[in-house]
Amino acid sequence: MIKAGIIGATGYAGNEIVRLLLGHKEAEIVWFGSRSYIDKKYASVYQNFCKIVDAKCMDDNMEALAEEADVIFTATPQGLCASLVNEAILSKCKIVDLSADFRIKDVKTYEKWYGIEHKAPQFIKEAVYGLCEINREAVKGARLVANPGCYPTCSTLSLYPLLKEGLIEPSTIIIDAKSGTSGAGRGAKVDNLFCEVNENMKAYGVASHRHTPEIEEQLGYACGQEVLINFTPHLVPMNRGILVTAYASLNRETSYEEVRAVYDKYYGKETFVRVLDQDICPQTKWVEGSNYVDVNFKIDPRTHRIIVMGAMDNLVKGAAGQAVQNMNLMFNLAENEGLMQVPMYP
């Protein structure tokens, strides 16, 4: 039985890790870390766990936690994991970091976009970017996994086959993404109040969102060259779900069948990436509560562009689900253990 500790267990992503691990046959939670709620019953913070979780919240003490846990999930703001991790900890247990601290290989890029100093640059090289479908083998051997951001997961998986096969021109990529509000976290901010979000829509972080360099780095690996993109996230009045609509110019004439074959080549055997039938557009509700990413594409012969769509649950495949998937790989478990929830509809 793998012993798991969660630092940041009372955020939405932490709460979702708890939900998933409760249904995991090979793991148990030994530490519900939450600096804000120390000694409070976890189920009193999230009443959905009433009569299911009896534990109390504990401090975010990674040193102590490393003594008790086989794996630590850090579902905390940027900078915290980097400020706590050290060799002693990593020699005792594995870490899946849900923050951005170890996602970007170039520390200067990280520090520029995130506006903070990186406190543990010595671990950046070792850290594995935990996009399981693409870095599966590397994840298996990792001590420290950087769990990908929600937008980067959906964007990269949607575009990866096209870039890998050279079908699109990287400099033309535009990613227009839409997210439910749980991605904004549980902090008490006026902008995230029900009345401000409901019956409303907006773009935010235009030409400046911090997931941009992360996406660019991953797309760059796919096509073997530097990539600059436009990435625009939008806030939409729903709890869960990310929808990515990406645009790129085709490098040559192609057909539905050819592109479909490319997607099948990369995802045909993947459990969690579903390439939908022709002309079926992904909908976020079709993956709600599950670890699936649904993708599809449409070729526009008029403009010689391809439109690629991806939908997933930002709290599952975009955060907690992928974190558990990474844990499964790191501990040589079945990759889908604890992750076979059927999407809930409606």
Choose, by CB under 8 A, the member of 54, 63, 198, 258 that binds its own copies. 198
Residue 193: burial class (beta carbons within 10 Å; 0-12, 13-18, 19+): exposed
Q: Minimum distance from CB of 184 to its own copies (Å)? A: 8
Nearest partner of 129 among 153, 113, 107, 108, judged by Cα: 153
Our finding on whether 109 is near its own copies (CB under 8 A) is no
- Residue 283 in the binding site for its own copies (CB under 8 A): yes
The CA distance from 278 to 13, in Å, is 33
Does position 176 interact with its own copies (CB under 8 A)? The reply is yes
**Which distant-in-sequence residues (6+ apart) come within 8 Å of 93 by Cβ?**
65, 66, 69, 70, 71, 72
The footprint of its own copies on residues 119-158 (CB under 8 A) is none
Binding residues for its own copies restricted to 2-61, rule: CB under 8 A = 12, 15, 19, 22-23, 44, 46-52
Residues 243, 273: Cα–Cα separation, whole Å: 14
The count of residues in the chain is 346
Pick the closest to residue 105 from 217, 196, 224, 220 (CA basis). Answer: 217
- Cβ proximity to its own copies: between 91 and 194 the closer is 194
Helix (H, G, I), strand (E, B) or coil at 239: coil
Residue with tokens 């599809």: 296
Q: Smallest distance from the beta carbon of 287 to its own copies, in angstroms?
A: 7
Residue 129: how many CB atoms within 10 A of its CB? 23
Instruction: From the candidates 150, 154, 195, 223, give the one annotated as an active-site residue.
Output: 150
Q: Binding mask 208-247 vs its own copies (x if CB under 8 A, - otherwise)?
A: --------------------xxx-x-x-xxxxxx-x-x-x
- Provide the residue type at 39 as one letter: D
Binding mask 240-259 for its own copies (x = CB under 8 A): xx-x-x-x------------
- How many other C-beta atoms lie within 10 A of the C-beta of residue 115? 10
Under the criterion CB under 8 A, does residue 334 sit at the interface with its own copies? Answer: no
Nearer to its own copies, 107 or 184 (CB): 184
Whether 150 is catalytic is yes
Confirm or reject binding of residue 1 to its own copies (CB under 8 A). no
Does position 287 interact with its own copies (CB under 8 A)? The reply is: yes
Contacts (CB under 8 A) with its own copies, residues 288-307: 288-290, 294, 298-300, 302-303, 305, 307
Active site members: 150
